[in-house]
Amino acid sequence: MTKLVLEPLSTYRSYPPEEMASRARTFYESIRRRRSVRDFSDKPVPREVIEYALLAAGTAPSGANLQPWHFTVITSPDMKRRIREEAEIEERDFYNGRAPQEWLDALAPLGTDEHKLFLETAPVLITIFGQRSSEGPDGRWIKNYYVPESVGIATGFLIAALHEAGLVTLTHTPSPMGFLNEICGRPETEKPYILLVVGYPAEDCRVPVYGGVKKPLETIASWL
Ligand code: IYR
């Protein structure tokens, strides 16, 4: 067992209250411009941008700091085509019977369907896996904790970092998506959570009006 060792918190920065509010507002003004995009350009993305965004994701807090995630970055046209083919098989089932009408009604304002052209057009797909357990340095397997929560937080960091860098993303969740383990060569101890589609918007990119409507503060938060 590794023992507790403490160090001074040297990375914290404090700001005067007005600057705190202005920084919080600046982040909000930026992140509120983020939209999920389904019309991608095929323009390639600099590798370094993806690498820094992944480094940012890797700083996320996680259960017992076990960092139970793995990101596979896919740019090869052949792999993107395989992923599109497999995803569309699942999606055809989903839209033609598997999904209850209530779910299809909820999706109607977004205009989604079984066609997933963006999986081939977008220059980068990032498959985000959660690790139920991971192999320690001594070869012993250790159980991870709060895996979905940890992966969700890391994914949020990743999406925000990519947005700040000037890229657009789509959180895509073909269901079920077990086929991603085989294509990405990941073990069965890992569960795919999200397929993040990354790139630039197509020139004529359009987004659904209702996707941009967010709940007001009074409905998403209460002060007690
Ligand atoms: N996975 C399907 C359906 C879908 C489900 C939800 I919840 C969405 O927010 C969007 C789509 C698809 O990708 O089309």
List the CATH number of the domain containing 135: 3.40.109.10
- Tell me whether residue 190 is in a domain: no
Structure tokens at 18: 């007005």
pLDDT digits (tens, 9 = 90+) for 136-166: 889 999 999 999 999 999 999 999 999 999 9
Q: Is the Cβ atom of 98 under 6 angstroms away from ligand 1? A: no
Q: How far apart are CA 43 and CA 47, in angstroms?
A: 12
pTM above 0.95, yes or no: yes
Q: How far apart are CA 26 and CA 22, in angstroms?
A: 6
- Tell me whether residue 192 is in a domain: no
Query: How many structural domains compose the chain?
Result: 1
Q: Ligand 1 mean position to 139 CA, how many Å?
A: 38
Q: Is the Cβ atom of 172 under 6 angstroms away from ligand 1? A: yes
- Tell me whether residue 93 is in a domain: yes
- Domain encompassing residue 164: 51-109+116-184
Nearest to 42 by CA among 164, 202, 155: 202
Which pLDDT score is estimated for 175?
85
- Tell me whether residue 170 is in a domain: yes
Is pLDDT above 90 for 212?
yes
Average pLDDT estimate for 174-181: 93
Residue whose structure tokens are 């896996």: 129
Q: Ligand 1 mean position to 125 CA, how many Å?
A: 17
As a whole number of Å, the CA-based R_g of the chain is: 20
- Tell me whether residue 203 is in a domain: no
Average pLDDT estimate for 188-207: 98
Average pLDDT estimate for 34-50: 98
159: helix, strand or coil: helix
- Tell me whether residue 3 is in a domain: no
